[in-house]
């Protein structure tokens, strides 16, 4: 069999290249051979959270997989035909559900299939988008690109036990090429959810963040929700949307500092079309659109660089990056999804 070889150590060399490569393998029907998986990381090879995503996509795409084991630095993924499915999955740790959904949603939608997935794991954990980010930021962006899904939170799940639960439904979709340029709105939504923490501390932290945003001339609408979880924890999302932009930033509550670990400037000092995390997630669907997708972003992260590399290698799409006075413009010329068999 003819495998497309992907260097898993390219760029940031982490889980992003694994997820994107397998998602595009499913969509394009290209068999891939991932090498040097997480080669430069302290603990190299596949970790449990990667295996969960691989095994779910294996079911969805009726794929043959070689090397799907913890610690494996090589993986061969041979996709079959994608089917509409109903699945129940359990990560069994606080591993991020959002990172799994990030690859599963475009695979199913772009392939003109449906999925009804109930999955347990971590809903709000470090190094991954929160569930609220997926619900309010990614969902809006994907909807504008023609990808439709619904997300229902059943239970929150924080580190270390996880135990959160989400129901996802994805629908057949047609990709649209779009543009995100500059943020014009000063209206902001702040959503905070918490469990087993004193509400006084949560309210105080939220009020401090609201005051900072107000001083920066934002009009802030806040919502605080107590949602039961196994472990104590709290999650916060700040986001704004208008016809030209979708910008969000999320954070978890740090129990040591008793504050939200929020990179405030990432939101306030971002006048462009999308935030850095969302930019990563636009690449795969943009590569399969019929026209050019353009978006402005404040910086080109290693994640984005890696995603552009692996996506162009598998789909053959072309992309360009131009410098702006306040960031960068990324242009992705889609190949249409006619490559789907």
Q: Estimate to the nearest angstrom the gap between the alpha carbon of 305 and the chain centroid.
A: 15
What's residue 165's pLDDT?
Answer: 98
**Which entry of 30, 33, 50, 303 is annotated as an active-site residue?**
303
What's residue 44's pLDDT?
Answer: 83
Cα separation of 296 and 141, whole Å?
A: 14
- The residues of the chain that CATH labels 3.30.360.20 are 187-268
Give the DSSP per-residue string, 61-110: TT-EEE--STT-S-EEEE------EEEEEE-SSS-BHHHHHHHHHHHHHH
Query: Nearest CA to 186 among 242, 249, 125?
Result: 242
Q: Classify domain 187-268 at the CATH class level.
A: alpha beta
What's residue 337's pLDDT?
Answer: 60
Output the tens digit of pLDDT for each of the chain's 341 residues.
799 999 988 877 678 889 999 999 999 999 999 999 987 777 888 988 789 899 999 999 999 999 999 999 999 999 999 999 999 999 988 999 999 999 999 999 999 999 999 999 999 999 899 999 999 999 999 999 999 999 999 999 999 999 999 999 999 999 999 999 999 999 999 999 999 999 999 999 999 999 999 999 999 999 999 999 999 999 999 999 999 999 999 999 998 999 999 999 999 999 999 999 999 999 999 999 999 999 999 999 988 999 999 999 999 999 999 999 999 999 999 987 644 44
Phi, psi at 139, each rounded to 5°: -60, -40
- The residues of the chain that CATH labels 3.30.110 are 1-81
Instruction: Give the residue ranges of DSSP H helices in the chain.
Output: 15-28, 48-60, 97-110, 131-133, 139-144, 199-215, 264-268, 276-287, 302-315
What's residue 10's pLDDT?
Answer: 82
Query: What predicted TM-score, i.e. pTM, was given to this entire model?
Result: 0.95
Specify the CATH architecture of the domain 1-81: 2-Layer Sandwich (3.30)
Total count of residues recorded for the chain: 341
**303 has catalytic annotation:** yes
């Amino acid at each position: 069999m003819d495998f497309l070889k992907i260097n898993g150590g390219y760029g940031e060399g982490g889980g992003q290249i694994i997820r994107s490569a397998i998602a595009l393998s499913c969509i394009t029907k290209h068999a891939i051979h991932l090498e040097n998986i997480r080669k430069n990381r302290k603990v190299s090879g596949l970790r449990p959270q990667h295996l969960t995503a691989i095994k779910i996509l294996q079911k969805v795409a009726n794929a043959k997989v070689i090397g799907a084991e913890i610690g494996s630095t090589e993986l061969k993924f041979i996709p079959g035909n994608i089917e509409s499915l109903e699945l129940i999955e359990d990560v069994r740790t606080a591993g991020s559900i959002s990172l799994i959904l990030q690859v599963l949603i475009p695979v199913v939608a772009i392939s003109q299939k449906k999925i009804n997935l109930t999955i347990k794991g971590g809903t709000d954990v470090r190094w991954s988008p929160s569930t609220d980010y997926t619900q309010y930021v990614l969902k809006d962006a994907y909807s504008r690109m023609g990808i439709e899904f619904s997300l229902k939170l059943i239970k929150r799940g924080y580190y270390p036990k996880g135990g959160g639960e989400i129901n996802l439904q994805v629908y057949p979709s047609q990709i649209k090429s779009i543009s995100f340029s500059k943020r014009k709105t000063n209206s902001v939504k702040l959503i905070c959810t918490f469990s087993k923490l004193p509400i006084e501390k949560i309210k105080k932290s939220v009020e401090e963040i609201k005051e900072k945003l107000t001083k920066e001339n934002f009009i802030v609408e806040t919502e605080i929700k107590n949602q039961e979880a196994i472990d104590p924890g709290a999650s916060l999302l700040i986001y704004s949307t208008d016809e030209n932009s979708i910008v969000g930033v999320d954070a978890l509550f740090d129990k040591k500092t008793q504050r939200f670990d929020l990179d405030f400037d990432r939101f306030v000092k971002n006048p462009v079309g999308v935030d850095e995390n969302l930019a990563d997630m636009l690449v795969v669907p943009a590569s399969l659109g019929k026209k050019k997708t353009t978006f402005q972003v404040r910086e080109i992260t290693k994640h984005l660089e890696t995603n552009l590399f692996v996506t162009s290698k598998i789909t053959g799409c072309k992309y360009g990056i131009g410098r702006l006075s306040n960031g960068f413009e990324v242009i992705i010329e889609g190949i249409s999804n006619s490559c789907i068999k």
